Amino acid sequence: MATIEDVAALAGVSVATVSRVMNNSYVVSEEKRKRVLQAAQTLDYRPPSYGRGQKKSVNKTILVICSVVIYEVIAGIQAMAKELGYEVLIHYSADYNADLSTVGILKNKMVDGVIMLNMLLDNDALSSISSRFPVVQCGEYVNLKNAYQVTVDNEGGAHAVVSHLIESGWKRIAYVLPEIVDGTPQFAQVRLLGYRRALEEHGIPFDPSLIVRADFSLESGYEAGRKILALEPRPEAVFCAVDQLAIGCIHVFRDQGLHVPRDIAVAGFDDGESAEICSPPLTTIAQPYFEIGRDTVRLLTSLIKGEISVGRQVRLDYELKIRASTRREI
């Protein structure tokens, strides 16, 4: 099946130009319009069935399919949806590879668009849903041509917190990498890139032995902490891709009689509810959860209305929260 990128390549124009032609924009010259339409005809390219020129939606309903309930993100989704006149339905599935074809509201086409909140889907499953509905991935995402995604700047946040550790005097820094049955989530891989970039910029060689794998549970964080303490020489600091794992590490370090951060520093990512009240309070990267939810709805409704037809990733900024778990004076 031809893609919008294929049409752009054959016509010798940008993907944005193809999008403008398909949306009947007046800003495209007649010469380019003809080239794009000819290329589309040659390739038998057919834009998604939703969007501009289609019958106006009567559902005014957005379906959120989530594998984890992040309350602030949901609140942001609901607030923006209400502002724009949409209802929000939530379908929870703990299965990261759920068969979404069985979701009745999708089978009956009772929604205008879909938000995938931290859902891990393979490319085929996501392509299948995206061919029938406007879809925006929120938080976790699958890299797919012409996909729409809203997420925090994962690499930038990881780079910032690891740079903070290095500039505070710690050089040998472990990274706790969360995994699921089918592999490593995209966000954890991108945070690994930020970790490695911070090391490189500070002249510290990357050491694969300092990558410790875990799942997402507090217990797994505790076990990861045990593995870190067994490394020789022992790491001076630990960066965990999620706060839950960092808190598990703090527990095992304290149980072994170590002082955090004097003996070993710990940092996380997310700034969940437990980050500020754990002992010591956790240095972490705060995500703008509410804004992520709002921007996801903004992007989805633009897609529903046919205002955009070229995939994009919206990356929101983060905030480094420095707390006692990495303060040298403690």
- Sorted by sequence, the CB contacts under 8 Å of residue 148 that are 6+ apart come out as 134, 135, 136, 137, 299, 300, 303, 311, 312, 313
How many whole angstroms separate alpha carbon 164 and alpha carbon 322?
9
How many whole angstroms separate alpha carbon 54 and alpha carbon 146?
20
Q: Are 144 and 136 in contact (CB under 8 A)?
A: no
* Of the options 1.10.3720.10, 3.90.1490.10, 3.40.50.2300, 3.20.20.70, the CATH number for the domain spanning 154-287+320-326: 3.40.50.2300
Please state the domain extents for the chain: 4-43, 61-151+290-317, 154-287+320-326
CATH topology of domain 61-151+290-317: Rossmann fold (3.40.50)
CA nearest neighbour of 181 among 216, 208, 223 = 216
Q: Are 251 and 284 in contact (CB under 8 A)?
A: no
Identical fold for domains 61-151+290-317 and 154-287+320-326, yes or no, is yes
Q: What is the pLDDT along the chain (330 residues), one digit of tens a residue?
A: 677 778 888 999 876 677 667 766 545 677 888 898 998 889 888 776 544 444 444 579 999 988 888 889 999 999 999 999 999 999 887 765 666 665 677 767 788 999 999 877 767 777 778 878 899 999 888 777 778 999 999 999 999 999 999 999 999 999 999 987 667 888 999 999 999 999 999 999 999 999 999 998 899 999 999 999 999 999 999 999 999 999 999 999 999 999 999 999 999 999 988 999 999 999 999 999 999 999 999 999 999 988 887 788 899 999 999 999 999 864
Q: Cβ–Cβ contacts within 10 Å for residue 119, how many?
A: 26
